[in-house]
């Protein structure tokens, strides 16, 4: 009975999504508020929450989130009409993340940046911390309409100057996300990445202090004691 309800709910969500009508009360009628769905002839499994879908990317992710394979509803209808979850936060943190199409997450540095994309606070979907942890940080960005690629490090953006450097760093071209000018300008400019390894800063050689030469202590020369010449006895003259 529960599975039939899920199928009916999924059908209504897909139908209303194609019709351009939201269905805020449909999922709320279920105990968990979630539906796990996969399409026929496709291995992809989606979590549908708040009328939005999120792709469960791996079996490890599915199992670690505590889902059961028996809860999956198989559908012959396309889920393309259901929008994906783009804005997410964990239940124990106020940080709001953008989930990129390439499966990364990027924190909005401020409410102003969040609103600069015409986002709505009510579109944020609360998920578990475990689920968010499966999304690596989005570190590669580019300004919309520009070719320069930057790497985010310690809150700063660093321009990767050549494609050769990009490839040698082992970075992935599919992991680059475009950002608007408001967000781009919010990251201070860091040092450009021009070489594969940073140029080491030479350590100054400390000045060698001269070793003082000890002043030699003069050794006194002994004064020779004069040897007395013995007195010569006069030779006696014979008497004639």
Domain identity same for 71 and 117: no
Say if residue 12's pLDDT is above 50. no
Average pLDDT over residues 104-110: 97
Percent of the chain with pLDDT over 90: 59
Predicted pLDDT at 75: 85
| Inside any domain, residue 204 | no
| Inside any domain, residue 195 | no
> Average per-residue pLDDT in the chain?
81
Domain identity same for 132 and 171: yes
Dump pLDDT digits (tens) for 129-185: 999 999 999 999 999 999 999 999 999 999 999 999 999 999 999 999 999 999 999
| Inside any domain, residue 226 | no
Say if residue 222's pLDDT is above 70. no
| Inside any domain, residue 192 | no
Dump pLDDT digits (tens) for 159-173: 999 999 999 999 999
Predicted pLDDT at 8: 43
Domain identity same for 28 and 71: yes
> 41: domain range?
2-75
CB 206 within 8 A of CB 172: no
Domain count, the chain: 2
Domain identity same for 106 and 147: yes
Domain identity same for 94 and 158: yes
Domain identity same for 141 and 55: no
| Inside any domain, residue 21 | yes
Predicted pLDDT at 238: 53
- pTM equals 0.67
Confidence of residue 216 (pLDDT cuts 50, 70, 90): low
Domain identity same for 108 and 63: no
Dump pLDDT digits (tens) for 13-28: 444 343 333 333 333 3
Predicted pLDDT at 208: 64
Domain boundary among 23, 52, 75: 75
| Inside any domain, residue 117 | yes
Domain identity same for 92 and 182: yes
Domain identity same for 165 and 100: yes
| Inside any domain, residue 200 | no
Predicted pLDDT at 23: 38
Domain identity same for 129 and 170: yes
């Amino acid at each position: 009975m529960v599975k039939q309800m899920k199928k009916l709910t999924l059908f209504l969500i897909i139908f209303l999504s194609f019709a351009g009508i939201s269905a805020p009360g449909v999922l709320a009628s279920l105990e968990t508020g979630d539906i796990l769905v996969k399409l026929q002839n496709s291995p992809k499994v989606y979590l549908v929450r708040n009328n939005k879908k999120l792709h469960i990317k791996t079996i490890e992710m599915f199992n670690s989130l505590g889902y059961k394979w028996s809860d999956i509803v198989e559908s012959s209808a396309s889920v393309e009409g259901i929008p994906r979850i783009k804005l997410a936060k964990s239940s124990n943190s106020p940080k709001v993340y953008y989930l990129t199409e390439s499966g990364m997450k990027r924190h909005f540095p401020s409410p102003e940046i969040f609103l600069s994309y015409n986002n709505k606070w009510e579109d944020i979907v609360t998920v578990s911390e475990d689920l968010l942890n499966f999304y690596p940080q989005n570190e590669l960005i580019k300004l919309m309409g520009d070719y320069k690629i930057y790497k985010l490090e310690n809150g700063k953006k660093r321009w990767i100057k050549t494609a050769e450097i990009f490839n040698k760093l082992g970075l992935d071209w599919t992991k680059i996300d475009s950002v608007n000018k408001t967000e781009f300008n919010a990251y201070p400019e860091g040092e450009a990445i021009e070489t594969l390894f940073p140029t080491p800063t030479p350590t100054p050689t400390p000045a060698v202090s001269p070793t003082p030469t000890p002043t030699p202590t003069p050794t006194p020369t002994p004064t020779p004691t004069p040897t007395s010449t013995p007195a010569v006895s006069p030779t006696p003259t014979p008497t004639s």
